Structure 1
Amino acid sequence: MTAKSTIGFIGLGIMGRHMAGHILAAGYPLQVYNRTAAKAAPLVEQGAVLAENPGALAAACDVVITIVGYPADVEEVYFGDNGIIANARPGTVLVDMTTSSPELAQRIAAAAAGKGLAALDAPVSGGDIGARDGKLAIMVGGAAETFDSVLPVFETMGARIALMGPAGAGQHTKMANQIAIASTMLAVSESLSYAEAAGLDPAKVIEVVGTGAAASFLLNGLGPKIAARDYAPGFFVHHFVKDMSIALSEAERMGLDLPGLALARSLYQKLVDGGYGEEGTQALFRVYCGLTATGEAA
């Protein structure tokens, strides 16, 4: 891969639009595709080319990156009639940055190899802020030589980039990440719920405990949003439920009992059932307030 390699990017949501923007800003020729074409307009105005479908994009690119919603979306994009694998040229590198199942990542890698392609699973962590600032953590599964070939592209989007093992290892690492987030969000929500019930100013509580042993990205980054009742998404609740469901399925397959993760998913599912699936993960605080519209105690 060279600086003149054409990069294809599929999925221009909350994170994808920033990630693709960094690639374009770094000078790579960029083709983009999104089911809602209007979301591609800002990138097209900056010089990106809008492809008709995933297959057309794959046929024109040296590296194809995807970050879509659910495993079913990944299946469609990679294996559909107008999908990537059926249309990519031999030698093309496929990089799925969706948080998806390790089994699907392995299946994509096997199918890619059978067509003379190479594949990496490379999910990310850092939310919309990390994507905007180009400081995502990128955890990668696949062959070392393939990883090395696309590392310059990863470096336009991320600050911490690591090859974790063979196909599927990136997704397994992301599951470990989501498991840690799940129980931490429970702790942050319960801490601030307790603080408010005790008559404390939650913002001041965060200022103090956020510098001690309880400090975390979630407490210091999302805690103030909880205090302000700001539930705007940096990462959608319904996507987090999807991730936790994948992690629980993998844990069951490995014979692991993860009660904290199971509890977190059940509480986040209440948000989805209550109509709050499009909010950010900090909306878990609503569960402790009776799922009221404002998040105030019912």
Structure 2
Amino acid sequence: MLSKEDTVIGFIGTGVMGKSMAGHLLDAGYQLTVYTRTKDKASDLLDKGAVWSESPRDVAQKADVVFTIVGYPSDVKEVYLGENGLIANAKPGSYLIDMTTSTPSLAKEIYEKAKEKEVHAIDAPVSGGDIGAREARLAIMAGGDDEAFLQVEPLLNILGTNIVHQGEAGAGQHTKMCNQIAIASNMIGVCEAIIYAEKSGLDPETVLKSISTGAAGSWSLSNLAPRMIDGNFEPGFYIKHFIKDMKIALDEAKRMDMQVPGLSLALSLYEQIAEKGEENSGTQALYKYWKQS
């Protein structure tokens, strides 16, 4: 068991979601050391007692368990496989948990490289956005060895309410692709439903009272449609990161010789709205595609 008294947790990436997630671990009583490219983003955590690390290498040398949630697979590769990265500098027997949505192939590579160093690597991407991170209600989908998962599961339970071990290394990332494929087409439907309500003269907020609890119900309809109606396009999850995820899923589908017309359409629409300057907006800004067209 990883006791609070003896376990130092490292956290790399304190953005929209990571900041809340790291805060929950700190609030649970664990010693926490953090690193992020922009130190100001970690200021609240440092004020609460977290210790600053100067690099991923510094985190790896201090921590028994390291969580990462960064932007892109290229960032994951740098943080884990670089000369000054986690695997080259991690303590034998330590645990590395990547919660970034990345590629299954990279997750497997990290697992194999970590195993050579007697380090445990788990891919554990999450779903739930800023709300899920803030309220510790994330869905966490994990890939990796059974024993390693069981050791870190109590920590994952601090961050989420639906933690499932999906299988071997890479299985967490494959599961996240299923999640993103389901969201992609659903977001088109949510946007079209709200636009339809507005154009037909209905009050969209009243419409939501009827349709969000029926067969049309979804997380996006309940949590993101109200933001669309309010004109709130602040990111709970960035469009640029969702585009990255959809491209990973599309590549994986092609590798399996699978047609994904819904995903392809959603990617096309999101790329168009990103080209109009919305790449740093939340995914609910897809609503603007119909408003601007």
Query: TM-score scaled by structure 2?
Result: 0.98
C-alpha distance in 2 between matches for 1:30 and 1:225? 33
The 2-side partners of 1:226 and 1:39 are apart by: 27
Q: Which amino acid aligns with 1:60?
A: K
Q: What SS does the corresponding residue of 1:274 show, helix, strand or coil?
A: helix
Deviations 1:145-179 (A, max 9, x none): 00011111111101110100000000000000011
Equivalent-residue separation in structure 2 for 1:18 and 1:211 (angstroms): 28
Q: Pick one of 196, 213, 216 that aligns with 1:214.
A: 216
Matches of 2:10 and 2:227 in 1, distance apart?
35
Shift of 1:65: 0.8
Within the alignment, does 1:50 sit opposite 2:49 as a pair? no
Separation in structure 2 between the aligned mates of residue 212 and residue 152 of structure 1, nearest angstrom: 34
Whole-Å Cα distance in 1 between the matches of residues 88 and 129 of structure 2?
31
**How far is 1:101 from its partner?**
0.4
Secondary structure in 1 aligned to 2:285? helix
* Whole-Å separation in 2 of the counterparts to 1:211 and 1:23: 33
Secondary structure class of the residue paired with 1:278: coil
Deviations 1:218-273 (A, max 9, x none): 11111111111211111000000000000000000011000000000000011211
Equivalent position amino acid for 1:86 in 2: A
Q: For the residues of structure 1 that align with 2:190 and 2:85, how far apart are their CA atoms?
A: 41
2:285 counterpart residue number: 283
Q: Distance in 2 between matches of 1:178 and 1:126?
A: 11
Q: C-alpha separation between the residues in 2 aligned to 1:235 and 1:204?
A: 26
Of the three residues 249, 256, 266, the one matched with 1:264 is 266
> 1:81: Cα distance to partner?
2.0
Residue 58 of structure 1 aligns with an amino acid whose one-letter code is A
Letter in 1 for 2:129: G
User: Partner of 1:118 in structure 2?
Assistant: 120
Q: 1:2 is matched with which residue?
A: 3
Match of 2:247 among 242, 245, 253: 245
Is structure 2 residue 15 aligned with structure 1 residue 13? yes
Q: Number of residues paired by the alignment?
A: 291
Instruction: Give the equivalent residue in structure 2 for 1:141.
Output: 143
Partner of 1:168: 170
Equivalent-residue separation in structure 2 for 1:255 and 1:208 (angstroms): 39
The secondary structure found in structure 1 opposite 2:278 is coil
- For 1:81 and 1:145, locate their aligned partners in 2 and report how far apart those are by CA, in whole Å: 28
Q: Deviations over 1:27-62 (max 9, x none)?
A: 111110000011111111111110010001101110
AA paired with 2:89? Answer: N
How far the C-alpha of 1:118 sits from its partner, in A, is 0.7
How do 1:13-32 and structure 2 match up within 5 A? 13-32=15-34
> 1:40 — aligned with what?
42
Name the CA distance, whole Å, in 2 between partners of 1:105 and 1:12: 21
Q: 1:106 aligns with which of 105, 108, 113?
A: 108
Paired with 2:168 and 2:57, the residues of 1 have a C-alpha distance of 26
Confirm whether residue 156 of structure 1 aligns to residue 158 of structure 2: yes
Deviates more, 1:140-149 or 1:222-231: 222-231
Q: 2:133 aligns with which of 106, 131, 137?
A: 131
C-alpha displacement of 1:211: 2.3
Q: What is the distance in 2 between the residues matched to 1:120 and 1:76?
A: 17
Rounded to whole Å, the distance in 2 between the matches of 1:221 and 1:131 is 14
Give the unaligned 5+ runs of structure 2: none
For 1:294, the equivalent position in structure 2 comes to none
In 1: Cα distance, 2:195 partner to 2:251 partner: 30
Match of 2:92 in 1: 90
Q: Following TM superposition, by how much is the alpha carbon of 1:210 offset from its aligned partner in structure 2, in angstroms?
A: 1.5
